[in-house]
Structure 1
Amino acid sequence: MTNFSDIFKSGFLQETGNLTTEGFVMSLLSAFVCGMIVYAVYRFFFKGVIYNNNFNILLVMTSLVTCFIVIVISSNVVLSLGMVGALSIVRYRTAVKDPLDVGFLFWTVAVGVTCGAGLYLISLMGTVAIALVYILLVKIRSHRHLYLLIVKYADEATDTVLRELEPIKKVLKNKTATKGYTELTYEVRLSGDNTSFTNRLSACPGVESAVIVEFTGDYFE
Protein backbone atom coordinates (compact mmCIF):
# COMPACT_ATOMS: atom_id res chain seq x y z
CA MET A 1 0.00 0.00 0.00
CA THR A 2 1.41 3.35 -1.01
CA ASN A 3 1.83 5.66 1.96
CA PHE A 4 1.48 9.41 2.05
CA SER A 5 5.25 9.96 1.86
CA ASP A 6 5.49 8.10 -1.48
CA ILE A 7 2.57 10.05 -2.90
CA PHE A 8 4.16 13.30 -1.80
CA LYS A 9 7.52 12.44 -3.34
CA SER A 10 6.05 11.23 -6.62
CA GLY A 11 3.58 14.10 -6.93
CA PHE A 12 5.69 17.06 -5.83
CA LEU A 13 9.37 16.27 -5.39
CA GLN A 14 9.79 14.38 -8.63
CA GLU A 15 11.07 16.48 -11.51
CA THR A 16 8.28 17.10 -13.97
CA GLY A 17 10.29 18.92 -16.61
CA ASN A 18 12.93 17.62 -18.96
CA LEU A 19 15.76 19.53 -17.25
CA THR A 20 19.21 18.63 -18.55
CA THR A 21 22.50 20.49 -18.66
CA GLU A 22 22.34 20.70 -22.46
CA GLY A 23 18.76 21.99 -22.39
CA PHE A 24 19.59 24.54 -19.69
CA VAL A 25 22.57 25.89 -21.62
CA MET A 26 20.62 25.95 -24.88
CA SER A 27 17.74 27.85 -23.27
CA LEU A 28 20.02 30.50 -21.77
CA LEU A 29 22.01 30.82 -25.00
CA SER A 30 18.89 31.31 -27.11
CA ALA A 31 17.54 33.84 -24.58
CA PHE A 32 20.84 35.70 -24.75
CA VAL A 33 20.82 35.79 -28.57
CA CYS A 34 17.23 37.03 -28.72
CA GLY A 35 17.93 39.50 -25.91
CA MET A 36 20.88 40.92 -27.86
CA ILE A 37 18.62 41.39 -30.88
CA VAL A 38 16.28 43.44 -28.67
CA TYR A 39 19.33 45.30 -27.33
CA ALA A 40 20.47 46.21 -30.85
CA VAL A 41 17.00 47.35 -31.92
CA TYR A 42 16.62 49.55 -28.84
CA ARG A 43 20.15 50.93 -29.23
CA PHE A 44 20.09 51.86 -32.91
CA PHE A 45 16.43 52.82 -33.32
CA PHE A 46 15.82 54.64 -30.03
CA LYS A 47 13.60 57.70 -30.56
CA GLY A 48 13.20 59.01 -27.03
CA VAL A 49 14.78 62.08 -25.45
CA ILE A 50 17.79 60.51 -23.68
CA TYR A 51 19.12 57.03 -24.41
CA ASN A 52 19.57 54.98 -21.22
CA ASN A 53 22.18 52.24 -21.65
CA ASN A 54 21.43 50.81 -18.19
CA PHE A 55 17.84 50.17 -19.22
CA ASN A 56 19.03 48.49 -22.41
CA ILE A 57 21.31 46.19 -20.40
CA LEU A 58 18.31 45.45 -18.17
CA LEU A 59 16.43 44.18 -21.24
CA VAL A 60 19.06 41.49 -21.86
CA MET A 61 19.12 40.56 -18.17
CA THR A 62 15.31 40.33 -18.09
CA SER A 63 15.29 37.80 -20.93
CA LEU A 64 17.92 35.67 -19.14
CA VAL A 65 16.33 35.91 -15.69
CA THR A 66 12.84 35.14 -17.03
CA CYS A 67 14.25 32.14 -18.92
CA PHE A 68 15.93 30.91 -15.74
CA ILE A 69 12.70 31.28 -13.73
CA VAL A 70 10.65 29.40 -16.33
CA ILE A 71 13.18 26.55 -16.38
CA VAL A 72 13.01 26.24 -12.59
CA ILE A 73 9.22 26.41 -12.53
CA SER A 74 8.86 23.76 -15.23
CA SER A 75 11.26 21.36 -13.51
CA ASN A 76 9.68 21.04 -10.06
CA VAL A 77 6.24 21.86 -8.65
CA VAL A 78 7.51 22.70 -5.16
CA LEU A 79 10.13 25.08 -6.52
CA SER A 80 7.53 26.73 -8.74
CA LEU A 81 5.29 27.41 -5.73
CA GLY A 82 8.20 28.85 -3.82
CA MET A 83 9.21 31.00 -6.75
CA VAL A 84 5.70 32.40 -7.14
CA GLY A 85 5.59 33.21 -3.42
CA ALA A 86 8.96 34.92 -3.53
CA LEU A 87 8.12 37.03 -6.58
CA SER A 88 4.77 38.08 -5.12
CA ILE A 89 6.47 40.10 -2.36
CA VAL A 90 8.68 42.06 -4.77
CA ARG A 91 7.61 45.63 -5.41
CA TYR A 92 8.97 47.72 -8.28
CA ARG A 93 8.80 51.47 -7.75
CA THR A 94 10.85 52.72 -10.70
CA ALA A 95 8.61 54.75 -12.99
CA VAL A 96 8.76 53.95 -16.70
CA LYS A 97 7.94 57.25 -18.46
CA ASP A 98 8.08 56.07 -22.07
CA PRO A 99 5.32 53.60 -23.02
CA LEU A 100 7.67 52.05 -25.58
CA ASP A 101 10.00 51.01 -22.75
CA VAL A 102 7.15 48.97 -21.25
CA GLY A 103 6.71 47.29 -24.63
CA PHE A 104 10.39 46.39 -24.74
CA LEU A 105 10.17 44.93 -21.23
CA PHE A 106 7.21 42.72 -22.22
CA TRP A 107 9.15 41.73 -25.32
CA THR A 108 12.11 40.45 -23.28
CA VAL A 109 9.77 38.69 -20.83
CA ALA A 110 8.17 36.88 -23.78
CA VAL A 111 11.65 35.93 -25.01
CA GLY A 112 12.54 34.48 -21.62
CA VAL A 113 9.29 32.53 -21.33
CA THR A 114 9.54 30.95 -24.79
CA CYS A 115 13.24 30.12 -24.45
CA GLY A 116 12.70 28.70 -20.97
CA ALA A 117 9.93 26.49 -22.39
CA GLY A 118 12.33 25.19 -25.04
CA LEU A 119 10.61 26.94 -27.96
CA TYR A 120 13.84 28.30 -29.40
CA LEU A 121 12.74 28.64 -33.02
CA ILE A 122 9.48 30.32 -32.07
CA SER A 123 11.35 32.74 -29.81
CA LEU A 124 13.82 33.65 -32.56
CA MET A 125 11.12 34.01 -35.22
CA GLY A 126 8.94 36.12 -32.93
CA THR A 127 11.87 38.34 -31.94
CA VAL A 128 12.86 38.97 -35.55
CA ALA A 129 9.25 39.63 -36.60
CA ILE A 130 8.66 42.16 -33.79
CA ALA A 131 11.99 43.83 -34.56
CA LEU A 132 11.08 44.26 -38.23
CA VAL A 133 7.64 45.68 -37.38
CA TYR A 134 9.15 48.14 -34.90
CA ILE A 135 11.85 49.28 -37.34
CA LEU A 136 9.23 49.73 -40.07
CA LEU A 137 7.02 51.86 -37.83
CA VAL A 138 9.99 53.97 -36.72
CA LYS A 139 11.00 54.58 -40.32
CA ILE A 140 7.45 55.58 -41.26
CA ARG A 141 7.26 58.02 -38.35
CA SER A 142 10.67 59.53 -39.11
CA HIS A 143 9.42 61.01 -42.41
CA ARG A 144 7.38 63.61 -40.53
CA HIS A 145 8.65 65.30 -37.39
CA LEU A 146 6.50 66.82 -34.67
CA TYR A 147 7.84 69.98 -33.05
CA LEU A 148 6.80 72.56 -30.50
CA LEU A 149 7.40 76.13 -31.66
CA ILE A 150 7.52 78.79 -28.95
CA VAL A 151 7.57 82.41 -30.09
CA LYS A 152 7.76 85.42 -27.76
CA TYR A 153 7.32 88.85 -29.27
CA ALA A 154 6.24 92.38 -28.53
CA ASP A 155 2.65 93.31 -29.30
CA GLU A 156 3.63 95.67 -32.11
CA ALA A 157 5.23 92.73 -33.98
CA THR A 158 2.02 90.67 -34.09
CA ASP A 159 1.29 91.22 -37.77
CA THR A 160 4.87 90.41 -38.77
CA VAL A 161 4.98 87.19 -36.74
CA LEU A 162 1.62 85.95 -38.02
CA ARG A 163 2.69 86.66 -41.59
CA GLU A 164 5.87 84.59 -41.14
CA LEU A 165 3.90 81.73 -39.57
CA GLU A 166 1.13 81.68 -42.17
CA PRO A 167 2.76 79.15 -44.61
CA ILE A 168 3.53 76.68 -41.79
CA LYS A 169 1.14 73.85 -40.87
CA LYS A 170 0.53 74.41 -37.21
CA VAL A 171 -1.93 74.04 -34.33
CA LEU A 172 -2.07 76.61 -31.54
CA LYS A 173 -1.54 74.94 -28.17
CA ASN A 174 -1.01 77.83 -25.80
CA LYS A 175 -1.09 81.63 -25.74
CA THR A 176 0.31 83.73 -22.91
CA ALA A 177 -0.16 87.51 -22.86
CA THR A 178 1.78 89.76 -20.49
CA LYS A 179 2.31 93.53 -20.45
CA GLY A 180 3.58 94.35 -23.89
CA TYR A 181 4.49 90.78 -24.86
CA THR A 182 2.76 87.69 -26.22
CA GLU A 183 4.04 84.10 -26.17
CA LEU A 184 2.59 81.53 -28.57
CA THR A 185 3.13 77.76 -28.48
CA TYR A 186 2.36 75.85 -31.69
CA GLU A 187 2.41 72.18 -32.58
CA VAL A 188 4.23 72.08 -35.92
CA ARG A 189 4.57 69.13 -38.31
CA LEU A 190 7.49 69.27 -40.73
CA SER A 191 8.75 66.98 -43.46
CA GLY A 192 12.49 66.65 -42.87
CA ASP A 193 14.59 68.86 -40.61
CA ASN A 194 14.09 72.23 -42.30
CA THR A 195 13.68 74.60 -39.35
CA SER A 196 15.33 77.63 -40.93
CA PHE A 197 12.14 79.66 -40.53
CA THR A 198 13.02 80.10 -36.83
CA ASN A 199 16.00 82.22 -37.93
CA ARG A 200 13.70 84.47 -39.93
CA LEU A 201 11.32 84.74 -37.00
CA SER A 202 14.04 85.65 -34.52
CA ALA A 203 15.36 88.28 -36.95
CA CYS A 204 12.00 90.07 -37.14
CA PRO A 205 11.83 93.40 -35.25
CA GLY A 206 10.08 92.99 -31.92
CA VAL A 207 10.60 89.21 -31.66
CA GLU A 208 12.40 88.39 -28.41
CA SER A 209 12.88 84.63 -29.03
CA ALA A 210 11.84 81.79 -31.34
CA VAL A 211 12.49 78.29 -30.01
CA ILE A 212 11.65 74.97 -31.66
CA VAL A 213 12.05 71.56 -29.99
CA GLU A 214 11.18 68.09 -31.21
CA PHE A 215 8.17 66.75 -29.33
CA THR A 216 8.04 63.02 -28.46
CA GLY A 217 5.58 63.16 -25.57
CA ASP A 218 8.29 63.23 -22.88
CA TYR A 219 8.38 66.91 -22.06
CA PHE A 220 5.21 67.08 -19.99
CA GLU A 221 4.03 65.05 -17.03
Structure 2
Amino acid sequence: MGESLNFQDLFKKSMLHLEAFRSVSYTDVLIGLIASFGIGMLIFYIYKKTFRGVVYSYNYNVTFVLMTMITAIIIMTISTNIVLSLGMVGALSIVRFRTAVKDPLDIVYMFWAISAGIATGAKMYPVALVGSAAISLTLLWLSRRKVREQPYLLIIRHTEEAITGVRTQLRKLNYTLKSKTVRKDYIEMTIEIRLRDDNTAFVNVMSAIDGVLDVSLINYTGDYAQ
Protein backbone atom coordinates (compact mmCIF):
# COMPACT_ATOMS: atom_id res chain seq x y z
CA MET A 1 0.00 0.00 0.00
CA GLY A 2 1.22 3.48 -0.84
CA GLU A 3 1.83 6.11 1.73
CA SER A 4 -1.16 8.30 2.60
CA LEU A 5 -0.86 11.90 1.50
CA ASN A 6 -1.75 14.32 4.30
CA PHE A 7 -2.40 18.04 4.03
CA GLN A 8 1.19 18.93 5.00
CA ASP A 9 2.63 16.86 2.16
CA LEU A 10 0.10 18.32 -0.23
CA PHE A 11 1.05 21.80 0.92
CA LYS A 12 4.76 21.12 0.36
CA LYS A 13 4.16 19.72 -3.10
CA SER A 14 2.00 22.67 -3.95
CA MET A 15 4.81 25.02 -2.93
CA LEU A 16 7.15 23.14 -5.23
CA HIS A 17 4.64 23.55 -8.06
CA LEU A 18 5.20 27.29 -8.02
CA GLU A 19 7.82 26.52 -10.63
CA ALA A 20 4.89 25.86 -12.97
CA PHE A 21 4.61 29.60 -13.51
CA ARG A 22 7.72 29.42 -15.65
CA SER A 23 5.85 27.18 -18.10
CA VAL A 24 2.70 29.28 -18.34
CA SER A 25 1.32 29.36 -21.87
CA TYR A 26 1.11 32.97 -22.90
CA THR A 27 -1.13 31.93 -25.78
CA ASP A 28 -3.72 30.52 -23.37
CA VAL A 29 -3.54 33.66 -21.25
CA LEU A 30 -3.99 35.89 -24.28
CA ILE A 31 -6.92 33.83 -25.58
CA GLY A 32 -8.56 33.94 -22.15
CA LEU A 33 -8.18 37.71 -21.90
CA ILE A 34 -9.51 38.26 -25.42
CA ALA A 35 -12.49 35.99 -24.77
CA SER A 36 -13.29 37.67 -21.45
CA PHE A 37 -12.96 41.10 -23.05
CA GLY A 38 -15.31 40.12 -25.87
CA ILE A 39 -17.93 38.77 -23.49
CA GLY A 40 -17.50 41.81 -21.26
CA MET A 41 -18.20 44.09 -24.23
CA LEU A 42 -21.28 42.02 -24.99
CA ILE A 43 -22.50 42.61 -21.43
CA PHE A 44 -21.68 46.31 -21.86
CA TYR A 45 -23.82 46.51 -25.02
CA ILE A 46 -26.76 44.53 -23.60
CA TYR A 47 -26.83 46.60 -20.41
CA LYS A 48 -26.85 49.85 -22.40
CA LYS A 49 -29.47 48.52 -24.81
CA THR A 50 -31.87 47.27 -22.13
CA PHE A 51 -31.30 50.00 -19.53
CA ARG A 52 -34.60 51.41 -18.23
CA GLY A 53 -33.43 53.30 -15.15
CA VAL A 54 -33.34 57.00 -14.36
CA VAL A 55 -29.77 57.97 -15.27
CA TYR A 56 -27.46 55.76 -17.31
CA SER A 57 -23.98 55.44 -15.77
CA TYR A 58 -21.15 54.78 -18.23
CA ASN A 59 -18.66 54.10 -15.44
CA TYR A 60 -20.95 51.55 -13.84
CA ASN A 61 -21.36 49.76 -17.16
CA VAL A 62 -17.58 49.70 -17.75
CA THR A 63 -17.16 47.78 -14.49
CA PHE A 64 -18.85 44.76 -16.08
CA VAL A 65 -16.11 44.57 -18.73
CA LEU A 66 -13.35 44.91 -16.17
CA MET A 67 -15.08 42.51 -13.76
CA THR A 68 -15.18 39.82 -16.44
CA MET A 69 -11.49 40.22 -17.29
CA ILE A 70 -10.33 40.42 -13.67
CA THR A 71 -12.33 37.33 -12.71
CA ALA A 72 -10.78 35.44 -15.63
CA ILE A 73 -7.29 36.47 -14.46
CA ILE A 74 -8.05 35.32 -10.92
CA ILE A 75 -9.30 31.93 -12.11
CA MET A 76 -6.28 31.43 -14.37
CA THR A 77 -4.01 32.27 -11.42
CA ILE A 78 -5.55 30.09 -8.72
CA SER A 79 -6.01 27.11 -11.05
CA THR A 80 -2.24 26.61 -11.16
CA ASN A 81 -1.61 26.22 -7.43
CA ILE A 82 -3.60 25.25 -4.34
CA VAL A 83 -1.66 27.66 -2.12
CA LEU A 84 -2.56 30.59 -4.32
CA SER A 85 -6.20 29.50 -4.39
CA LEU A 86 -6.38 29.44 -0.59
CA GLY A 87 -4.61 32.77 -0.35
CA MET A 88 -6.92 34.32 -2.93
CA VAL A 89 -10.00 33.13 -1.04
CA GLY A 90 -8.65 34.69 2.14
CA ALA A 91 -7.81 37.94 0.39
CA LEU A 92 -11.20 38.25 -1.30
CA SER A 93 -13.06 37.45 1.91
CA ILE A 94 -12.00 40.78 3.42
CA VAL A 95 -13.32 42.82 0.48
CA ARG A 96 -16.55 44.66 1.18
CA PHE A 97 -18.63 46.47 -1.42
CA ARG A 98 -20.58 49.43 -0.08
CA THR A 99 -22.16 50.61 -3.34
CA ALA A 100 -25.96 50.48 -3.15
CA VAL A 101 -27.64 48.64 -6.02
CA LYS A 102 -31.02 50.27 -6.71
CA ASP A 103 -32.16 47.98 -9.51
CA PRO A 104 -32.19 44.23 -8.70
CA LEU A 105 -31.47 43.56 -12.39
CA ASP A 106 -28.01 45.12 -11.96
CA ILE A 107 -27.12 42.21 -9.66
CA VAL A 108 -27.91 39.84 -12.52
CA TYR A 109 -25.38 41.63 -14.72
CA MET A 110 -22.77 41.37 -11.96
CA PHE A 111 -23.28 37.61 -11.64
CA TRP A 112 -23.21 37.32 -15.43
CA ALA A 113 -19.84 39.09 -15.60
CA ILE A 114 -18.39 36.97 -12.78
CA SER A 115 -19.72 33.71 -14.24
CA ALA A 116 -18.36 34.53 -17.69
CA GLY A 117 -14.99 35.39 -16.17
CA ILE A 118 -14.90 32.09 -14.27
CA ALA A 119 -15.78 30.11 -17.42
CA THR A 120 -13.18 31.84 -19.60
CA GLY A 121 -10.54 31.62 -16.88
CA ALA A 122 -11.17 27.87 -16.64
CA LYS A 123 -10.88 27.59 -20.46
CA MET A 124 -14.55 26.58 -20.76
CA TYR A 125 -15.10 28.85 -23.73
CA PRO A 126 -18.19 27.09 -25.15
CA VAL A 127 -19.96 27.50 -21.80
CA ALA A 128 -19.05 31.18 -21.62
CA LEU A 129 -20.01 31.96 -25.24
CA VAL A 130 -23.21 29.91 -25.48
CA GLY A 131 -24.35 30.94 -22.01
CA SER A 132 -23.71 34.63 -22.70
CA ALA A 133 -25.55 34.43 -26.02
CA ALA A 134 -28.56 32.81 -24.34
CA ILE A 135 -28.63 35.43 -21.58
CA SER A 136 -28.33 38.25 -24.13
CA LEU A 137 -31.27 37.00 -26.17
CA THR A 138 -33.36 36.53 -23.04
CA LEU A 139 -32.67 40.06 -21.78
CA LEU A 140 -33.40 41.61 -25.19
CA TRP A 141 -36.67 39.70 -25.45
CA LEU A 142 -37.78 40.64 -21.94
CA SER A 143 -36.85 44.31 -22.44
CA ARG A 144 -39.01 44.51 -25.57
CA ARG A 145 -41.97 43.04 -23.72
CA LYS A 146 -41.50 45.70 -21.05
CA VAL A 147 -41.50 48.53 -23.61
CA ARG A 148 -44.82 47.44 -25.07
CA GLU A 149 -46.75 48.50 -21.99
CA GLN A 150 -45.35 50.72 -19.25
CA PRO A 151 -47.03 52.14 -16.15
CA TYR A 152 -47.25 55.91 -15.72
CA LEU A 153 -48.54 58.28 -13.08
CA LEU A 154 -50.82 61.01 -14.39
CA ILE A 155 -51.11 64.00 -12.05
CA ILE A 156 -53.92 66.44 -12.87
CA ARG A 157 -54.70 69.70 -11.13
CA HIS A 158 -58.00 71.28 -12.14
CA THR A 159 -60.87 73.39 -10.88
CA GLU A 160 -64.47 72.33 -10.28
CA GLU A 161 -65.50 73.57 -13.73
CA ALA A 162 -63.20 71.07 -15.47
CA ILE A 163 -64.53 67.91 -13.81
CA THR A 164 -66.78 66.93 -16.72
CA GLY A 165 -64.07 67.43 -19.35
CA VAL A 166 -61.45 65.54 -17.32
CA ARG A 167 -63.76 62.59 -16.74
CA THR A 168 -64.59 62.44 -20.45
CA GLN A 169 -60.90 62.14 -21.34
CA LEU A 170 -60.19 59.62 -18.57
CA ARG A 171 -62.90 57.28 -19.91
CA LYS A 172 -60.73 56.82 -23.00
CA LEU A 173 -57.84 55.51 -20.85
CA ASN A 174 -57.29 52.36 -18.84
CA TYR A 175 -56.67 54.02 -15.50
CA THR A 176 -56.74 53.45 -11.74
CA LEU A 177 -57.29 56.31 -9.31
CA LYS A 178 -54.47 56.38 -6.75
CA SER A 179 -55.25 59.52 -4.79
CA LYS A 180 -57.48 62.60 -4.87
CA THR A 181 -56.82 65.79 -2.93
CA VAL A 182 -59.46 68.52 -2.73
CA ARG A 183 -58.21 72.01 -1.94
CA LYS A 184 -59.93 75.36 -1.83
CA ASP A 185 -58.84 76.48 -5.27
CA TYR A 186 -58.30 73.21 -7.15
CA ILE A 187 -58.51 69.43 -7.12
CA GLU A 188 -55.44 67.22 -7.56
CA MET A 189 -55.73 63.64 -8.76
CA THR A 190 -53.02 61.01 -9.12
CA ILE A 191 -53.92 58.29 -11.61
CA GLU A 192 -52.05 55.18 -12.74
CA ILE A 193 -52.31 54.41 -16.43
CA ARG A 194 -50.59 52.02 -18.85
CA LEU A 195 -49.41 53.17 -22.25
CA ARG A 196 -48.17 51.47 -25.38
CA ASP A 197 -45.63 52.94 -27.82
CA ASP A 198 -45.26 56.17 -25.80
CA ASN A 199 -48.52 57.65 -27.14
CA THR A 200 -48.91 60.76 -24.97
CA ALA A 201 -51.05 62.96 -27.23
CA PHE A 202 -53.88 62.86 -24.69
CA VAL A 203 -51.79 64.98 -22.31
CA ASN A 204 -52.01 67.97 -24.64
CA VAL A 205 -55.73 67.43 -25.13
CA MET A 206 -56.34 67.23 -21.41
CA SER A 207 -54.23 70.29 -20.62
CA ALA A 208 -56.27 72.31 -23.16
CA ILE A 209 -59.50 71.77 -21.20
CA ASP A 210 -60.82 74.93 -19.57
CA GLY A 211 -60.14 74.80 -15.86
CA VAL A 212 -57.20 72.40 -16.03
CA LEU A 213 -54.22 74.06 -14.34
CA ASP A 214 -51.51 71.56 -15.25
CA VAL A 215 -51.01 67.92 -16.26
CA SER A 216 -47.90 65.86 -15.43
CA LEU A 217 -47.04 62.41 -16.78
CA ILE A 218 -44.36 60.45 -14.92
CA ASN A 219 -42.94 57.05 -15.73
CA TYR A 220 -43.53 54.74 -12.77
CA THR A 221 -41.55 51.57 -12.00
CA GLY A 222 -43.39 50.52 -8.86
CA ASP A 223 -40.62 51.57 -6.45
CA TYR A 224 -39.99 55.16 -7.43
CA ALA A 225 -41.01 57.65 -10.06
CA GLN A 226 -38.65 58.41 -12.90
The answer to whether the superposition gives a TM-score over 0.5 is yes
Matches within 5 A, 1:66-105: 66-105=71-110
Letter in 2 for 1:158: I
Contact 1:175 1:185 in 2 (8 A): yes
Equivalent in the alignment of 1:10? 13
CA apart distance, 1:32: 0.7
| 2:156 and 2:190 in contact (8 A); partners too | yes
Partners of 1:197 and 1:89 lie apart in 2 by: 55
User: Take 2:108 and 2:161, find their aligned partners in 1: how far apart are those partners?
Assistant: 49
Distance apart, 1:13 and its partner CA: 4.6
Corresponding residue of 2:198: 193
- Select the residue among 170, 173, 198 that pairs with 1:168: 173
- Asked if structure 2 preserves the Cα contact closer than 8 Å seen for 1:13 and 1:78, the reply is no
* Shift in alpha-carbon separation, 1:8–1:199, aligned structure 2, 3 A: closer
Where do 5+ consecutive residues of structure 1 fail to align?
Answer: none
Q: Which amino acid aligns with 2:100?
A: A
Contact map agreement 2:14 2:83 (CA 8 A) in 1:
no
Is the alpha carbon distance of 1:44 and 1:220 closer, same or farther for their aligned partners in structure 2, counting shifts above 3 Å?
A: closer
Q: Which position in structure 1 is the counterpart of 2:36?
A: 31
Q: Deviations over 1:82-132 (max 9, x none)?
A: 111111111111111112211111111111011111101110111111101
Deviation string 1:14-55 (CA, Å, 9 cap, x unpaired) is 259995322222211111111111111112332222211111
Instruction: Count residues in correspondence.
Output: 220
CA distance in 1, matches of 2:142, 2:185: 45
8 Å CA contact retained: 2:11, 2:83? no
Say yes or no: does 1:149 pair with 2:165: no
Cα separation, 2, equivalents of 1:218 and 1:54: 24
**Identity of counterpart residues, as a percentage?**
40
Larger mean Cα displacement after TM superposition, 211-220 or 86-95: 211-220
Distance 2:143 2:31 in 1: 32
How high is the TM-score relative to the length of structure 2?
0.87
**Residue 83 of structure 2 aligns to which amino acid in structure 1?**
V
Which is further off, 39-48 or 10-19? 10-19
Equivalent in the alignment of 1:126:
131
Distance (whole Å) between structure 2 residues aligned to residue 174 and residue 63 of structure 1: 46
Matched, 1:55 2:60: yes
Classify the secondary structure of the residue corresponding to 1:56: helix
1:12 offset after TM fit, Å?
4.9
Partner-residue secondary structure (3-state), 1:75: coil
Instruction: Compare relative contact order (CA 8 Å, sep 6+) and give the higher one, 1 or 2.
Output: 1
**One of 201, 209, 213 as aligned partner of 1:208:** 213
Q: d(CA) in 1 for partners of 2:10 and 2:58?
A: 50
- In structure 2, how many angstroms separate the alpha carbons of the residues matched to 1:32 and 1:172? 49
